[in-house]
Structure 1
Amino acid sequence: MLSFEQGVSARVPDALMADMYRDRKRVFIDLLGWDLPVLDDKFEIDQFDSPDTLYLIVGQPDGTHLGSMRLLPTDRPTIIGDFFEHLCDTGAPRSGQVWELSRLCLSPRIRAAERRGVRNRLLTSAVQFALRNGISGYCCVTHAWYLPEVMAYGWQCRPLGLPQFDPGGMVGALEISINEETPRLMAEAGTWDETPVQTYVDAALGEGGVQ
């Protein structure tokens, strides 16, 4: 199941959303040791998880989270704009046509063989979402050791500046261009996955996409 979900409440009532936040705590806080806020000692939720936030989630019908990412337009508050602008030589992107990818989270409960498939499904769906909604690019902040892997996914991307030291290690910022050539380039790199899945779009988005 692939789901586009919008928004978060303090109670985290939805099973799939709740499991996503649990896995985010397991990955980013328990495993990676990031200093992030925790809700009820269970959920990793920060100030960017708002009623306007969009999430791309791969999960099972019973509400089990397999993988997810968060999508934020950069004309609103973002991680890169609020905390990592110093990584960008000409300033962080600030445009409704450039969105931030953050909190790419693969459940630690799934096997290594599944992780690649879930990751590719998320990447493909993010590109499909961008092409349908007039988004020309994504940006992200990641650890320096992960930058070569992100750049090898097949899409066209460029560093926004040199990696710099952060308390959690060396980090860098990238901007990823999305255009009609992106699906072909990702297919050549082996990361494009059009496996048929049922897609749910939150009613607040409208039938035509992001409003």
Structure 2
Amino acid sequence: MYLTTLRGAHGVPDGLLAAMFEARKQIFVDLLGWDLPVLAGRYEVDQFDDPRATYLILTDESGQHLGSARLLETERPHILDTLFPKLCEDAVPKGPTTQEITRFALDRHQNARRRRRVRDTLVCALADHALASGIEAYTGVAEIAWLQQILAFGWDCEPLGLPREHGATLLGALRIAIKPETPMLLARAGLVPEPIVTLRPIRHAA
């Protein structure tokens, strides 16, 4: 697999960003039925997809999107503090070394075994990115089924409050502490990433 780290998005995207935004639309809007903005009928892009967002994108040899995640700085508006602060029993975790994981997306045109391998690879890539970037914690909001998976990954993860009803589902917030031993904990819990070729990060201007 190939990992590319991109910074920033603006307007209707092209190239690798386009593939990611199109996959997000297919997953979160078409499959899950979330009420989200869609550009040009193809791309799921919201108000948090701005020049300060960071994207980790996994592709195959042909450049096809396999999985991706968006990271938001918590000292700026982000999903937990803007849309779901009531999911936190105490204050929303914020700070220069805390980022929020959002739009964790696995391309839907993969079988279950392949999706599991892409999932494991992306989770491990997020841990490695944090260790390389000085990120000490991730936060996130997740539906209950995905929340339970995240909690079972073996890393130092804790709920920030009790799950709450949101439409027809339950949502919960969590905080993941990232430490030098995090990759070992993920491996011990059974996450098996594929080897990654890291491509040169590209910065996209607004």
**TM-score (normalizing by structure 2):** 0.94
Q: Which runs of 5+ in 2 are unaligned?
A: none
CA distance in 1, matches of 2:174, 2:198: 31
Instruction: Find the counterpart in structure 2 of residue 5 from structure 1.
Output: 6
Is 1:19–1:63's contact at 8 Å kept on the other side of the alignment? Answer: no
Which residue number in structure 1 is paired with residue 59 of structure 2? Answer: 59
SS in 1 for 2:50: coil
Aligned partner letter, 1:153: F
Displacement after TM superposition at 1:183 (Å): 1.1
Which stretch shifts more, 141-150 or 97-106?
A: 141-150
1:17 shift after superposition:
1.1
The alignment's C-alpha RMSD in Å is 1.4
Q: Does 1:131 align with 2:113?
A: no
Q: Distance in 1 between matches of 2:175 and 2:192?
A: 19
Aligned ranges for residues 29-68 of structure 1 at < 5 Å?
29-68=29-68
Provide the rounded CA distance (Å) in 2 between the counterparts of 1:13 and 1:193.
28
Does 2:142 match 1:178? no
Alpha-carbon contact 1:4-1:201 (below 8 Å) kept:
yes
Match of 1:114 in 2: 114
Counterpart Cα distance in 2 of 1:67 and 1:5:
14
Identity percentage over the alignment? Answer: 40
SS in structure 1 of the partner of residue 153 of structure 2 = coil
2:126 maps to amino acid: A
Deviation at 1:62, TM superposition (A): 3.6
Q: Structure 1, residues 17-53: CA drift from partner, whole Å, max 9, x if none?
A: 1111111011101110000000011000000001111
Report the CA distance shift for 1:192/1:139 in structure 2 as closer, same or farther (over 3 A): farther
| Paired letter, 1:7 | G
CA distance in 1 between counterparts of 2:196 and 2:47 reads 33
Residue type at the aligned position of 1:70: R
User: What is the deviation of 1:67?
Assistant: 0.5
Cα distance, 1:196 vs structure 2 = 3.5
Does the 8 Å CA contact 2:158/2:175 hold for their aligned counterparts?
yes
| Higher relative contact order (Cα pairs below 8 Å, separated by 6+ residues) | 2
> Shift of residue 168 of structure 1?
4.4
Secondary structure (helix, strand or coil) at the match of 2:77 reads coil
Partner SS state of residue 200, structure 2: strand
Q: 1:92: Cα distance to partner? A: 1.2
SS in 2 for 1:89: coil
Distance 1:68 1:43, change over 3 A: same
TM-score for the superposition, normalised by structure 1: 0.91
Deviation track 1:123-161 (CA, whole Å, cap 9, x = no partner) reads: 111111111111111011001222221111111111100
Which runs of 4 or more aligned residues in structure 1 lie more than 2 Å from their structure 2 counterparts after TM superposition? Answer: 60-63
Q: Is 1:97 matched up with 2:97?
A: yes
Residues 96-119 of structure 1 deviation map (CA, whole Å, 9 limit, x = unaligned): 111100100000111211111111
- Give the CA deviation at 1:4: 0.4
2:195 is aligned to 195
Unpaired runs of 5+ in structure 1?
205-211
- SS of equivalent residue, structure 1 residue 200: coil
